[in-house]
Amino acid sequence: MRQEQFVARYQAEWQALERWLALRGDRPRHAGRSPDASALNDEDIPQHYRRLCQQLALARKRGYSPQLVARLQLLMQQGHGLLYRTPPPRWRRALEFLLADFPQLVRSQARSMWVATALFVLPLVGSFALIQWHPDVIHMLMDNGAIASLERMYNPASPNLGRDSGTDWMMFGYYIMNNISIGLRTFASGLLAGLGTVLVLLFNGLTIGAAAGHLQHIGHGDPFWRFVCGHGAFELTAIVIAGGAGLQLGMKLLAPGRRRRIDALVEGGVIGAKLCLGIAAMLLIAAFIEAFWSSIAAIPAWGKYSVAAVLWTLVFVWLWRGGRGGGHAD
């Protein structure tokens, strides 16, 4: 075969491989996702790389021009460098997921997230306001034992802010178990056509708002707000994101579009599972703050609120800006 025929036959393959190398050279961690529709799929690269090696061997054997051999040699070396290089450390991949991929995924489900926010915040604000005008409503939402425990935990005279007893480490473990179970329950109940997630969000919003409203009404608002303002940035936001994950799962079940229902549900489950990883990390951070910072009664209100302002700002900026400007697609 003459060199001109050889080049004409395989030129398109080489150009496609060159485009893939240009795309993946700086961003290897985004495997399987290409902004260039003409580029090769990542799963096809090993086969194309083997073909390139065979073509390079033929070019050498047939004595084709040094320029062509040099081009194929460079392609082979670049491909080998990407295919066989050491993968990034797992801790770095986890950090990349939390800082960029997770907030991107949250934004990609914006509609579900806003609905979840409304389902959680509106009953919270509504029950808080209602109890300021009708204090007896608290007895319709909570039993007497729960009310008494709430008043005891947030008594301004109590040395332990926000809890009856227990060491910081013991409460840290308790908060992890409790918070993550709420988050997973909020997400998993989306399998009930989304209705379960709706009910969990409404119930949690109503209960938290009622508790805050009652404590505010009886004069225990200061210790309550000093306790919840810090860890609430991660905890409450995580609950809303878990709700959004559950709602998108329910929508995949109810309205799969042109796909089979099982395929849409699997897609929703994959999205939800990824979101749950980030939610678990947020709830872990919230549990740490709640156990080791929120319960310190000696810190004045201005100190608690200053730290809370920083934490809330960090959470909102992270979810709003995380992953932008780095070649990621929202």
- What is the pLDDT, as a whole number, of residue 169? 84
Q: Which two tokens stand for residue 33?
A: 């996702």
- What is the pLDDT, as a whole number, of residue 288? 94
Q: What's the per-residue H, E or C state across 226-256? A: HHHHHHHHHHHHHHHHHHHHHHHHHHHHHCC
Q: CA-to-CA distance for 85 and 283, rounded, in angstroms?
A: 35
Helix locations, the chain, DSSP H: 3-24, 45-61, 66-83, 90-96, 102-108, 110-133, 138-141, 144-153, 168-188, 195-217, 221-254, 261-289, 301-321
Contact, 237 vs 315, CB < 8 A? yes
Q: CA-to-CA distance for 276 and 249, rounded, in angstroms?
A: 12
Q: How many CB atoms lie within 10 A of CB 102?
A: 23
The series of mean pLDDT values per 10 residues for the chain, 330 residues long, is 87 86 60 48 81 89 89 87 72 85 94 96 96 93 90 82 74 88 89 91 95 94 92 95 94 85 88 93 94 88 95 96 63
- CA dihedral (232, 238, 239, 244) positive or negative: positive
Amino acid at 55: Q
Query: Which residues make beta-bridge pairs with 296?
Result: 160
- What is the pLDDT, as a whole number, of residue 329? 41
- What is the pLDDT, as a whole number, of residue 16? 86
Q: CA-to-CA distance for 255 and 302, rounded, in angstroms?
A: 48
Q: Which residues of 20-46 are buried (b: 16+ CB within 10 A; e: fewer)?
A: bbebbeeeeebeeebeeeebbebeebe
Amino acid at 304: K
Q: Which two tokens stand for residue 186?
A: 């909020």
Tokens 């001109």 identify what position?
A: 4
Contact, 115 vs 244, CB < 8 A? yes
What lies within 8 Å, CB to CB, of 269 at 6+ separation is 249
Contact, 250 vs 197, CB < 8 A? yes
- What is the pLDDT, as a whole number, of residue 109? 93
- What is the pLDDT, as a whole number, of residue 1? 76
pTM of the predicted protein model: 0.72
